[in-house]
């Protein structure tokens, strides 16, 4: 898939087919994250891949899904992610190197690489930052030396999501009667400034 097309077609997907993702593809997604830019090339990120059905169910129970959809919504059992990539941060790298850098840029760059690589494989993804980190740490046995930052939910797509021009400044995404997700985005003309304002 051409890169620009993948960027435009990638949307957050929250409903998934219950078809497993081959481990080789998941390794490919983590490798895409591994080569993402890293501030001062510190490379503090590590990745925990979850494919086991029970572990997936346990991780799912920690997630707060789609805050803008009302009433409260979450995927049905037959729509849940079939894999997760948990992004972890080895914070002691910053102390050892005596560098004050915000690792969140590294996380964002790595996560986008994962999601774009997934899109190239026709796999849906959704980055999640609203979840119970302490429970995920316990479920997966993550050592205290690693910070649990975010989760990327993965699976073959079972829904469609489209971009809409933002109306009246509303950022609220919504589903129509056909269960198509509509996501408002600011128009290019409203955010682009070339050689001045």
> Residue 97 has which token pair?
């190197």
SS3 164: strand
Whole-number Cα distances in Å, 194 to 47, 65, 166, 186, 190: 39, 38, 22, 17, 12
Strand partners, 48: 86
Give the pLDDT mean for 100-114. 92
pLDDT at position 167 is 87
pLDDT at position 127 is 97
pLDDT at position 70 is 66
Kindly tell me if the per-residue pLDDT of 93 is higher than 90: no
Domain extents for the chain? 3-159, 161-197
* Topology (CATH level 3) of domain 161-197: putative fmn-dependent nitroreductase like fold (2.20.180)
Kindly tell me if the per-residue pLDDT of 196 is higher than 80: yes
Q: Which helix (H) or strand (E) holds 162?
A: strand 161-165
Q: What is the DSSP letter of 146?
A: S
Q: Which helix (H) or strand (E) holds 147?
A: strand 147-156
Label residue 71 by pLDDT band (50, 70, 90): low
Integer Cα distance of 182 and 128 in angstroms: 18
* Topology (CATH level 3) of domain 3-159: NADH Oxidase (3.40.109)
Phi-psi region at 114: left, alpha or beta (left = phi > 0; alpha = psi -120 to 50): alpha
Kindly tell me if the per-residue pLDDT of 38 is higher than 90: yes
Cβ count near 190 (within 10 Å): 9
Apex 4 CA angle, 130 and 190, nearest 5: 70
pLDDT at position 1 is 67
Label residue 124 by pLDDT band (50, 70, 90): very high
Cβ count near 30 (within 10 Å): 19
Burial of 44 (0-12, 13-18, 19+ CB in 10 A): buried
Label residue 101 by pLDDT band (50, 70, 90): confident
Label residue 121 by pLDDT band (50, 70, 90): very high
């Amino acid at each position: 898939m051409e890169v620009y097309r993948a960027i435009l077609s990638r949307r957050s997907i929250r409903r998934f087919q219950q078809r497993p993702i081959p481990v080789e593809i998941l390794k490919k997604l983590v490798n895409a994250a591994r080569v993402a830019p890293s501030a001062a090339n510190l490379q503090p990120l590590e990745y925990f891949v979850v494919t086991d059905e029970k572990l997936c169910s346990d991780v799912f129970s920690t997630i707060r899904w789609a805050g803008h959809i009302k009433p409260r919504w979450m995927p049905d059992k037959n729509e849940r992610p079939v894999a997760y990539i948990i992004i972890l941060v080895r914070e002691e790298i910053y102390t050892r190197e005596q560098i004050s850098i915000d690792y969140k840029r590294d996380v964002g760059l790595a996560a986008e690489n994962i999601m774009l690589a997934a899109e190239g494989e026709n796999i849906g993804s959704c980055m999640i930052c609203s979840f119970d980190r302490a429970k995920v740490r316990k479920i997966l046995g993550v050592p205290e030396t690693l910070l649990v930052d975010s989760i990327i939910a993965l699976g073959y797509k079972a829904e469609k999501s489209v971009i809409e021009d933002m109306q009246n400044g509303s950022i609220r995404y919504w589903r129509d009667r056909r269960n198509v997700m509509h996501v408002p985005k600011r128009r290019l003309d409203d955010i682009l400034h070339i050689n001045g304002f």
